[in-house]
Amino acid sequence: MSLKLVVDELIAEHGNLTAEWREIEKIINEVKHEEPKTKEEKYNFLKPVTDLFGKSHLFATKFKVHEIKEERFVFTEMAERGKESLVHRLLDDHRRIDELLENMRRLLEDYRFEKISAKDLVEKILKTHQEITKIVSEHIKIEDQEFRKL
């Protein structure tokens, strides 16, 4: 497989991953910020939380596969062309995004096992989502620019 084909595939995946991340954001916005009290409120709270749990796991898996392709094919080429510091920055972004996605998963697990309240879950998930969004936005912008130069 040629480098150009890999780069084209990765750039296309950026659009797909960004769209999936926006879908996750919509689910987060559906989650109520108040502690549910009645059975109906608990169901209405839990529905988007379970959707969020599933979609965030799926996203994390797809993102990991995407990272592996970048790291194995493109980053090595970039390093060989003298872009080591940029490769280190992008690898650090991957590490931070992975940690934040794992944090999001742990928060959902903590809520599932009643270790944190619904309100805490929503506040922490929103904060984590904002951090990931900031990193991913900058990261994809850099990659789209740099990958096209290869």
pLDDT score recorded for residue 54: 86
pLDDT score recorded for residue 57: 85
Coil, helix or strand at residue 144: helix
Task: Say if residues 104 and 125 touch (Cβ distance below 8 Å).
Answer: yes
Indicate the domain borders of the chain.
3-148
pLDDT score recorded for residue 1: 72
Q: What is the pLDDT of residues 16-34, one digit of tens each?
A: 999 999 999 898 888 777 7
Q: What is the 3-state secondary structure (H, E, C) of 90-102?
A: HHHHHHHHHHHHH
DSSP 8-state symbol, 113: T
Question: What does the mean pLDDT of the chain come to?
Answer: 91
Architecture of the domain delimited by 3-148? Up-down Bundle (1.20)
pLDDT of 128 above 90: yes
In terms of Cβ atoms closer than 10 Å to its own Cβ (0-12, 13-18, 19+), residue 100 is buried
Q: What is the pLDDT of residues 67-121, one digit of tens each?
A: 999 999 999 999 999 999 999 999 999 999 999 999 988 998 998 899 998 889 8
Q: What is the pLDDT of residues 44-72, one digit of tens each?
A: 888 888 888 889 889 989 999 999 999 99
Task: Say if residues 146 and 78 touch (Cβ distance below 8 Å).
Answer: yes
